[in-house]
Amino acid sequence: MRSMNPTFIALCAFLTAALASASTLPQVCNGAKDAHCLYTPIAAYRTQDPEIKATKGAIVSQERDPVGSITYLIKDGTAGQLTIFCHDGGGNKFLFDFGQGASSIVVDSVLNGNAKVYLNDNPGVYAGIGQTLILRSNSVGVDATVTCPH
């Protein structure tokens, strides 16, 4: 039987303790250096919930806040994609790869909507159609935020 990664076990223990004390996933993300959060726009700006899947690693948990924004807790070392459809401007697909000190997000140009994404260590630089198509970060535990026009 294959043993579990000690970092993943520690993350699960941290998540369990934090959720038991009524913390939210954004609070967990701020405290975990071996995990990342991906934040979506509020429900009023989207036509449907985003589609997210991991091609490597794991999406550990998700939480919806009262206005319908969804936070995904993503294990370090996870790659995958998020597809989002905004009310104003169609759909976008973002390919993400969250790694310890080497994270990136790439805009997949198959869908050409108006959604944008930024990494939280550099909130003034967005990736989207008509802008830069790739973001990179060397920050440990960096998070990302997807936005829709409104």
> Model's pTM, two decimal places?
0.82
Asked if residue 81 is part of any domain, the answer here is: yes
- Residue partners of 23: CB distance under 8 A and separation at least 6: none
Asked if residue 108 is part of any domain, the answer here is: yes
Asked if residue 100 is part of any domain, the answer here is: yes
SS (H, E, C) the chain: CCCCCHHHHHHHHHHHHHHHCCCCHHHHHHHCCCEEEEECCCHHHECCCCEEEEEECCEEEEEECCCCCEEEEEECCEEEEEEEEECCCEEEEEEEEECCCCEEEEEECCCCCCCEEEECCCCCCCECCCCECEEEECCCCCCEEEECCC
Asked if residue 66 is part of any domain, the answer here is: yes
* pLDDT recorded at residue 20: 44
The total number of structural domains in the chain stands at 1
Domain, as residue range, for 29: 6-147
Asked if residue 1 is part of any domain, the answer here is: no
Asked if residue 90 is part of any domain, the answer here is: yes
pLDDT tens over the chain, length 150 residues: 455 566 665 555 555 554 444 457 778 877 778 899 999 999 999 999 999 999 999 999 999 999 999 999 999 999 999 999 999 878 999 999 999 789 999 999 888 899 999 999 999 999 988 888 899 999 988 999 999 988
